[in-house]
Amino acid sequence: MTDTRYDRAPGDASALPDAEQGTSGAIVYTIGLVLAVGLTGLSFWVANTSLLWAGGISLGLTVLAIAQMGVHLVFFLHVTTGPDNTNNVMALAFGVLIVILVVIGSLLIMADLNDSMMPGPELMNLQMQR
């Protein structure tokens, strides 16, 4: 009466034939492993090399970290933009939004506390004159 093909969780490969499950799954995980190890090695090289401009190292590490997160999301967690993964993408977007709000809020609070805790410039000049 019902088609079991539509009655499965997103990312559940049990509806695929056995031959297709094993081969494609192993290839996807192998590609993900090679990319993850390559990006990790590249990150260590960027952090320890003197060939790059010192100011660009942090930017390079940030780009490599974002690429590493993308590899893990796609190849290991199977978060894609397919119609059966809409909830996963929405949950990921909400999680990223929360993290961004927490980081921005923390930076604003720390900046405000830093301004409140520092003595004023006139007091600093008075102490330096003594």
Pick from 20, 5, 67: which is nearest to 41 by CA? Answer: 67
Range of the domain at 27: 1-78
Are residues 57 and 103 located together in one domain of the fold? no
Are residues 72 and 90 located together in one domain of the fold? no
Pick from 67, 60, 31, 33: which is nearest to 44 by CA? Answer: 60
Are residues 88 and 105 located together in one domain of the fold? yes
* Residue that wins the pLDDT comparison between 118 and 107: 107
Condensed to tens digits (0 to 9), the pLDDT of residues 12-65 reads: 555 555 545 566 788 989 999 999 999 999 999 999 988 888 888 999 999 999
Are residues 42 and 95 located together in one domain of the fold? no
